[in-house]
């Protein structure tokens, strides 16, 4: 059985309005669940179509290349976050990144205003693949790749099995299905290697491709549909 949540919380997650605003709209009869008028306190699932009559926002799905030095969320003073760059560079607003990349890392982030993607994409139980190109300070060995693939003990936590493939003498591709804080840097450090550069090149079926730092592209409809199927969301 699908997990249910209160409809006002769901509307807030979708970025359509605050919970308080949601209750007011529901009382006015302007909120629909699967085409039927919603009621206060109603429980809904991620698969239910929830909309506000006359104000449904167009959903946006972007692949974005976060450059080094850009903050994903909650920038400190004199730091720049993705939302600010999107507004300054492209006039895009009311969008947010799914997940994080630390300040010194770069690469692919998915950007959207569709809150349905957040939980299924970021929940490690769903085993959504994220692929990284990693450069280290010493030549890559089969021993290193084998241990990374089996799992590494980092401060009492053993990482889940991964995929590790050589790319060049100092570079390899690492595919994870989880995202602990600074996980790849900590995994490599535990094995005596220091990460020199770290770039995410794929999330699920979405690839970074030819994007340059701080560029974006819209997902194609086939990409979006495949992503939604992977996340178990209705098309």
Cβ atoms of residues 171 and 140 within 8 Å = yes
On whether both 28 and 75 belong to a single domain, the answer is no
Active site residue 114: no
On whether both 66 and 172 belong to a single domain, the answer is no
On whether both 155 and 169 belong to a single domain, the answer is yes
Q: Please state which of the ranges 42-46, 102-106, 127-131, 203-207 shows the lowest mean pLDDT.
A: 42-46
> Which residue among the candidates 23, 48, 89, 102 is catalytic per the annotation?
102
On whether both 140 and 198 belong to a single domain, the answer is yes
**Per-residue confidence (pLDDT) for residue 51, from 0 to 100:** 84
On whether both 133 and 199 belong to a single domain, the answer is yes
Cβ-proximal residues to 190 (8 Å cutoff; 6+ apart), any chain: 152, 153, 154
Which residue is it, tokens 């929830």? Answer: 50
Q: How do residues 48-77 score in pLDDT, each as one tens digit? A: 888 888 765 688 999 999 999 999 887 888
On whether both 177 and 148 belong to a single domain, the answer is yes
Position 231 pLDDT exceeds 70: yes
On whether both 136 and 196 belong to a single domain, the answer is yes
On whether both 72 and 87 belong to a single domain, the answer is yes
**For the domain that residue 42 is a member of, what is the CATH number?**
3.10.290.10
- The structure tokens listed for 60 are 């946006």
**For the domain that residue 184 is a member of, what is the CATH number?**
3.30.70.1560
Confidence of residue 28 (pLDDT cuts 50, 70, 90): confident
On whether both 74 and 108 belong to a single domain, the answer is yes
* Cα–Cα distance, 118 to 123 (Å, whole number): 8
On whether both 150 and 164 belong to a single domain, the answer is yes
**Per-residue confidence (pLDDT) for residue 199, from 0 to 100:** 98
**3-class DSSP assignment, residue 105:** coil
**Per-residue confidence (pLDDT) for residue 224, from 0 to 100:** 96
* Owning domain of residue 107: 61-123+209-231
On whether both 165 and 221 belong to a single domain, the answer is no
pTM as predicted: 0.79
**Number of structural domains the chain divides into:** 3
Which residue is it, tokens 């769901």? Answer: 10
The neighbour count for residue 124, using CB atoms within 10 Å, is 12
On whether both 91 and 186 belong to a single domain, the answer is no
Position 148 pLDDT exceeds 90: yes
**3-class DSSP assignment, residue 98:** strand
């Amino acid at each position: 059985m699908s997990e249910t949540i209160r409809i006002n919380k769901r509307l807030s997650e979708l970025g359509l309005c605050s919970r308080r605003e949601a209750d007011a709209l529901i009382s006015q009869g302007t909120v629909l669940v699967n085409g039927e008028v919603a009621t206060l306190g109603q429980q809904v699932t991620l698969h239910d179509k929830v909309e506000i009559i006359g104000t449904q926002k167009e959903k946006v799905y972007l692949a974005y290349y976060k450059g080094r030095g850009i903050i994903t969320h909650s920038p400190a003073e004199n730091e720049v976050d993705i939302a600010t760059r999107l507004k300054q560079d492209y006039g895009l607003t009311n969008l947010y990144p799914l997940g994080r990349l630390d300040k010194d890392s770069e690469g692919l982030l998915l950007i959207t205003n569709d809150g349905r993607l957040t939980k299924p994409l970021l929940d490690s139980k769903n085993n959504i693949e994220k692929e990284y190109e990693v450069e280290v300070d010493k030549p890559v060995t089969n021993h290193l790749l084998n241990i990374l693939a089996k799992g590494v003990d980092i401060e009492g936590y053993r990482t889940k099995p991964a995929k590790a493939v050589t790319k060049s003498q100092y570079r390899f591709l690492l595919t994870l299905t989880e995202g602990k804080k600074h996980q790849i840097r900590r995994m490599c450090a535990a094995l005596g290697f220091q990460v020199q550069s770290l770039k995410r090149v794929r999330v699920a079926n979405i690839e970074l491709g030819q994007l340059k730092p701080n560029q974006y592209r819209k997902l194609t409809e086939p990409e979006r549909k495949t992503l939604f199927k992977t996340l178990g969301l209705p098309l």
